[in-house]
Chains A and B, each alone.
Chain A
Amino acid sequence: MSTATPSAPNTPAAPTNKLGFTKQDYVGSKSTLCAGCGHDAITAQIINAAFESNLEGYRVTKYSGIGCSSKTPAYFLNQGWGFNSVHGRMPSIATGASLANRNLINIGVSGDGDSMSIGMGQFVHAVRRNIPMIYIIEDNGVYGLTKGQFSATADKGSHLKSGAVNDLPPIDPCTLAIELGCGFVARCFSGNPKQLNTILKAAFAYEGTVVLDIISPCVTFNNHDASTRSYKHVKDHDFPLHDLGFIQYSEVEDVDIAAGQTEVVTFPDGSKVAIKAIHEGYDPTDRFGAMKAIHESMAKGEFLTGLLYINPTQAPLPQTLNLVDEPLASLDETVLKPSPAVLDDIMQALM
């Protein structure tokens, strides 16, 4: 249900989604990132996917920490509420708000610095708790906002613009997330909008934590020849695992999925992800197989992209905590405040 008033489309009529909103209703403020930044391409796909998924904008909450990536929630979905918090602590912000109101659609945007260094502790525990959120890591291997220091996802041997060489191994958010029990782990490239769009739509239909590592080259500090996060390098080493299709629950009956090479994963709400393998022998429902394949490809310097691992049946945190169906934030005094008789009983027991 949405009671928002869709904007009056100008002539010629802009296309609307099932809620009657145009794509313009899903945009945010103007981006202040560098021209050509991969993050802006991600923002564009969040807007597209939200529009196409018929998201109720008022239910969307956007969280972030600190860094270039963390600025982006201001650039999409102005209909939703945003909370730009402190460095590395976005997951705890998402945890509290998602518990306060279980009807919210939670999108967290973080970066490789924000999540894999200062925020590693919160990342790990948010995934472990399976809080209901899409956790996007806009991963460029570099600290952009402080002007170009290495991050913990930078590849060993990668060069900074200044010439400095990274001599430490990278942390991979995806294998880490799989290890932690995350039920929806994907890697994308900001330069592959089609794949990103499909995965985002599937992510909106998923109930628990989605970890989405999006390789997003930094055009200012990390786009040179000796970088393993440059546009050219990533484009040359991007190995999509499969052709993906996503069918929202409301459309399932209208769509035929061809038998044969296509694997179908069904979500609790009835939505389906259709997966047609390109990479031979990759099964995204096989946790250990996925880990092995990712490690093998990383050793070869490839970026495997697509849905790396999926298990749609894990209980998100509000369900684990057995919370009432109504948002906790909506409960009032009549529900929350015990009666005078209860206080009497407690006092009697303390006498």
Chain B
Amino acid sequence: MTASLAAPALTKGAKTRINDFSIQVATVNGSGSQTANTVLLRAIFQMGVFVSGKNLFPSNIAGLPTWFTIRASAKGYVARKASNEMLILMNPETAKEDIAKADPGALVIYDEPLQLDKLRDDLDFTPVPFQKLVTASCPEPKLHKLVKNMIYVGVASRLLGIDMEEVKKAIAKQLKGKAKAIELNQTACMAGYDWAMENLPDQDHVKVVRDNKTQGLIIVDGNEACALGALFAGVTVVGWYPITPASSLVETFIEYAEEYRKDPKTGKSTVAIVQMEDELASAGVVLSAGWAGARSMTSTAGPGVSLMSEFIGLGYYVEAPGVFFNVARTGPSTGLPTRTQQSDVELCAKCSHGDTQHINLYPGNMEECFQFSYDAFDLAERFQTPIFVVTDLDLGMQNWSSKPFAYPSKPYDRGKVLNQQQLAEIKDWGRYKDVDGDGICYRSLPGTPGGKGSYFTRGSGHNAYAQYSEKPEDYVAVVDRLKRKYETAKSHVPGPVFRNLGSDKGLLAFGSSDPAAIEAQDILAEAGIKTDYLRLRALPFTAEVDAYVKEKKVVYVVEQNRDGQMANIFRETYPEHATKFKSVLHYDGYAIDAKCIVDQITAFEQK
């Protein structure tokens, strides 16, 4: 994935960054800039160049500042890059601050009346008369605000050398089927392009040159990928409550369910979706639906998981299946709800009171968001327990390019469920008897006819026959078996992915930190610090993770939180190796970038 691209010669080729740059667009939230930015990103993608986008949006419907960064990378690095080669400044509120933070030499496209060009002399300023252009190209004054953003797409496309046919295609794609809007936006975009052609000298800071890296790839966000995983996994009951950044997971699922989960004959639905009164109620629906034999799920973020945690403990102890998506955001409390973090690691690993341990899946890319979501339903039914699929805002809501998803041909695993006939044949069935020695017991579903298999599920102490018990030995037998079940999960969860350069130094990351970790590993290697990279994909830790920890002299654990939560879990799991784990942290709400990893590891190495 890091194949290098030989840069085609341009006039001043030595200085020009070809297919290797970041653009930051500063606009006002609610001004329609998301469409313009996605069109720009998609046009670069259609030019065959690896590209990723990060929307840094405020917790606000309209009026507050928002930034969108687009990174093109010939090498396929898709992490956020801390420095930007091009700025497009449309927001008077933030323009001066944006200029102050700009990297020297950056190309700055800005709205002419802002008069930014006197602020610094080490930037390349390009004022654009946006109002004049929009007035001339759009006949409807009330649409000016929205269409204005398309003008900068046209100007930027001209300066970057993006083929306008690709831009027009991207607009048509983005505004699917809305003929009038497509025409309006294409006209505005063309106006920007033509104006730049006539009035601006060409530049050689950054260029897009047609490549073939994205052929056959899709652009998708993680919430949609997870929703698709759930669709193919056959989820039948969804209880949810809106919360940023998790809402679009269920909302996207609802759209797909409208199309693909209706009985063709009757038009009736094969999935029940209920927006509950809160997250706690959502958790109740998920666990009881799972208990009754449905495949069930919810989607939430950290504050929702906190609220659900009483039920999660019940689900763990009574052994009811359900899939819980946590699309994590920043902070305790409301925090920064539209920013990303990996700060629910410990929360999801041990959610609830008492002794609890949960299976957690950490997808690190779009294909895994899809596949792990699919697998989560198998794991929930196999292990009869709440399963967490932990992503974050960066994975969930940002645009990522990805290979198309492979069809999940593995049949559903519905776990150890006894039917009427099996129940009739078994002499001494006990709901919580560990017949197979793997900690997983056989369950029956409510409504099974035949007069056998009914039992009383209770959150209070119980024995192997699900009878009420306060006996010490009964309690210990159940929780020790639950621990055994968790051990069994080690051979069922996805193992780690390695990227080894041959070193006794470990670099460990998970989830959305993967792109930055890979890029950092390359940069460090060039600087003489070789590492073996392990990308963790699940809890509990598998045998490969055990071996890696034992073998490495040091393990740099990269994560997006303040407290080094994953490193804490490692220290607790491997106390004899506790001093090996060094935390490499990023937690300001922006997605992690390679530079911060490189800087911290370099500092450790110099000690």
Can you offer 11 A-B residue contacts whose CB atoms are under 8 A?
A83-B318, A83-B457, A84-B456, A85-B284, A92-B239, A95-B276, A100-B236, A104-B447, A321-B272, A324-B269, A329-B236
- Which residues of A in the span 294-351 have a Cβ within 8 Å of any Cβ on B? 317-318, 321-325, 327-333, 335-338, 340, 342-343, 346-347, 350-351
Contact A101 B292 (CB under 8 A): yes
Q: Mark B280-293, 1 if CB is under 8 A from A, else 0.
A: 11111111111111
Give the complex CA separation of A4 and B280 in angstroms: 36
* Contacting residue for A321 out of B233, B274, B457, B460, CB 8 A: B274
Give the complex CA separation of A100 and B445 in angstroms: 11
Contact A331 B236 (CB under 8 A): yes
- Which residues of A in the span 97-115 have a Cβ within 8 Å of any Cβ on B? 97, 99-101, 103-104
Contact A5 B451 (CB under 8 A): yes
* Contacting residue for A351 out of B217, B260, B267, B311, CB 8 A: B217
A61 at the interface (CB under 8 A from B): yes
- Contacting residues, chain A, for B575 (C-beta < 8 A): none
- Which residues of B in the span 291-328 have a Cβ within 8 Å of any Cβ on A? 291-296, 310-311, 314, 318
Segment at the interface with B among A74-82, A162-170, A272-280, A283-291: A74-82
Give the complex CA separation of A83 and B477 in angstroms: 21
Contact B292 A58 (CB under 8 A): no
* Contacting residue for B293 out of A78, A100, A323, CB 8 A: A100
- Contacting residues, chain A, for B234 (C-beta < 8 A): 331, 333, 335-337
Instruction: Using A96-B291, A338-B232 as known contacts, list a sample of 18 further A-B pairs with CB atoms less than 8 Å apart, ordered by residue number in A.
Output: A3-B420, A4-B450, A92-B239, A92-B276, A92-B283, A94-B288, A95-B281, A96-B285, A96-B290, A99-B272, A100-B288, A121-B278, A323-B268, A327-B293, A331-B234, A337-B232, A338-B231, A343-B405
Contact B447 A83 (CB under 8 A): no
Contact B447 A85 (CB under 8 A): no
Q: How far is the CB of A109 from chain B (nearest CB, A)?
A: 13
Contact A89 B294 (CB under 8 A): no
A220 at the interface (CB under 8 A from B): no
Using A74-B456, A125-B276 as known contacts, say yes or no to A58 and B314 having CB atoms under 8 A apart. Answer: no
Contact B405 A74 (CB under 8 A): no
Q: List the 7 closest A-B pairs by CB distance, nearest first.
A: A92-B284, A336-B234, A329-B293, A4-B451, A96-B288, A100-B294, A100-B292
- Nearest CB in chain A to that of B281: its residue: A92
A14 at the interface (CB under 8 A from B): no
A129 at the interface (CB under 8 A from B): yes
Using A323-B268, A338-B231, A347-B405 as known contacts, say yes or no to A82 and B281 having CB atoms under 8 A apart. Answer: no
A224 at the interface (CB under 8 A from B): no
Contact B218 A61 (CB under 8 A): no
Contact B287 A93 (CB under 8 A): yes
Q: How far is the CB of B101 from chain A (nearest CB, A)?
A: 34
The total number of A-B Cβ pairs within 8 Å is 226
| Chain B residues packing against A (C-beta within 8 Å) | 216-220, 228, 231-234, 236-237, 239, 256, 260-261, 263, 266-274, 276-278, 280-296, 310-311, 314, 318, 404-405, 407, 411-412, 420, 444-451, 454-460, 468
- Nearest CB in chain B to that of A32: its residue: B468
Q: Which of A84, A99, A332, A342 has the most CB of B within 10 A?
A: A99
A86 at the interface (CB under 8 A from B): yes
A223 at the interface (CB under 8 A from B): no
Q: How far is the CB of B83 from chain A (nearest CB, A)?
A: 30
Contact B284 A58 (CB under 8 A): no
Contact B456 A82 (CB under 8 A): yes
Give the complex CA separation of A291 and B63 in angstroms: 47
Contact A100 B456 (CB under 8 A): no
Q: Which of A96, A99, A124 has the most CB of B within 10 A?
A: A96
- Which residues of A in the span 1-16 have a Cβ within 8 Å of any Cβ on B? 1-5
Q: Which of A94, A333, A350 has the most CB of B within 10 A?
A: A350
A31 at the interface (CB under 8 A from B): no
Contact B314 A86 (CB under 8 A): yes
* Contacting residue for B310 out of A57, A63, A78, A86, CB 8 A: A86
Using A96-B284, A104-B292 as known contacts, say yes or no to A318 and B270 having CB atoms under 8 A apart. Answer: no
- Contacting residues, chain A, for B405 (C-beta < 8 A): 343, 347
Using A85-B314, A351-B217 as known contacts, say yes or no to A99 and B281 having CB atoms under 8 A apart. Answer: no
- Nearest CB in chain B to that of A350: its residue: B218
Q: How far is the CB of B41 from chain A (nearest CB, A)?
A: 14
Q: How far is the CB of A86 from chain B (nearest CB, A)?
A: 5
- Contacting residues, chain B, for A121 (C-beta < 8 A): 277-278, 281
- Which residues of A in the span 180-203 have a Cβ within 8 Å of any Cβ on B? none
Contact B451 A79 (CB under 8 A): yes
- Which residues of A in the span 122-168 have a Cβ within 8 Å of any Cβ on B? 122, 124-125, 129
- Contacting residues, chain B, for A89 (C-beta < 8 A): 280-281, 284, 310-311
